[in-house]
Chain A
């Protein structure tokens, strides 16, 4: 059990280093994939909708490493990820009631909305701390960041599903 939490912590740390150093050379119009965001979404997507342990743990670890390697104050991303977790869980609970199964067709739109909301929250946080609207950097490059993240998120979804990498999956998952 503790090995799972340790592995996830190390994975967040590794992804933080990777996106800050290796992937910085592959940025498009200044945007690079955010692997921590992708991993966190996979964690909360594959956890049962009415359970929060992994989501809370992931928010603390993922948010911590996101802030360590950025210029922001520590703790901001933890807060944003916790807020997003509750919103995503609520959406998953509603979807679960409707269909009882999840597919890539739920994953991708939900991930897109989650990414956009994270960017809005992050930029709103910068504006609040600096008291300057110049720091609200939500523009057309957000679309590039979104597509770039989706390119990494979609195969990750299938890898996690195929190898059952993120704990028990009690729901049926359709192949694309």
Chain B
């Protein structure tokens, strides 16, 4: 055999062997990483937590500062104050409507007193993955957190459910995640009308929409959506969003409705995990 041909064959053979070893090494490396995935991720969360918290707060301050440059600072403060008052009033209106429908029965769970209604664990947001609509919070299994626990804000706005739990941290899947399906009811301003039930689906990128509402149901702009507790994960009457735009097509049995969610990731500094809903 020609020495040149022989050398070329040897070179190709070496390259093939090197490539094969590289693939095997990569496969084994990835397998080992995933076997110890929970421990590795938890360790990095613990290590990064102080810095992440600092940057989270810095980002919050910076974004508020920039917003105040664009909109006058006083308008921004007044807007925040009005949002908080508005959500408190919506909760009170729903409580009164429910009491009317049950003919005078007073339900203490619908009172606007978050502390007595459920057992809650206060958690701070430390990171946000915008591509998968997942928030990281600084409470985990060591604090009594389990998967599927609901996560809300102090104004009873629903953020999502606990998806994955580590020892000191948890990942919360927001209701805007594409995997999320949530049973809701539409609160009509006329309390004599029975509520309309539907399903809120996540659209990704912090967006949600209302689906499976019969086309002959009357939904108005600015109607409020709340949880109905039909799927058994979230308690009832947690704030979900407000109707933005309805799309009716007589050829389809259901209408699709655009919803503006009440949750705001940039205001997710203090969240509450409901720990005893199913007990």
Which residues of A are at the interface with B, using a C-beta cutoff of 8 A?
Answer: 13, 17-18, 20-27, 29-32, 64, 68-75, 78-79, 82, 122, 130, 132, 134-135, 137, 139, 141
Contacts and interface: CB of A to CB of B under 8 A. Distances in A.
A17 B127 CA distance: 8
A44 B89 CA distance: 56
Contact of B178 (A26, A32, A134): A134
A73 B171 CA distance: 14
A17 B55 contact: yes
Contacts, number: 105
A22 B63 CA distance: 9
B129 A71 contact: yes
Interface residues of B, number: 41
Residue in A22, A70, A72, A78 whose Cβ sees the most chain B Cβ within 10 Å? A22
A23 B129 contact: no
8 contacts: A20-B127, A25-B59, A30-B133, A64-B33, A73-B37, A74-B40, A75-B33, A82-B26
A21 B34 CA distance: 24
Given A26-B59, A71-B134, A78-B30, A21 B205 contact: no
A24 B59 contact: yes
A73 B132 CA distance: 13
B56 A22 contact: yes
A21 B127 contact: yes
Contacts of B266: 25
Given A68-B44, A135-B178, A137-B131, A21 B55 contact: yes
A112 B62 CA distance: 28
B52 interface: yes
Given A17-B52, A134-B179, A23 B59 contact: yes
B187 interface: no
For A24, A27, A78, the residue with the greatest tally of chain B CB atoms inside 10 Å of its CB is A24
Contacts of A22: 55-56, 58-59, 62
A21 B129 contact: no
Contacts of B44: 68-69
B262 interface: no
B141 interface: no
B163 interface: yes
B129 A70 contact: yes
Contacts of A122: 131
Given A18-B55, A22-B58, A137-B131, A30 B34 contact: no
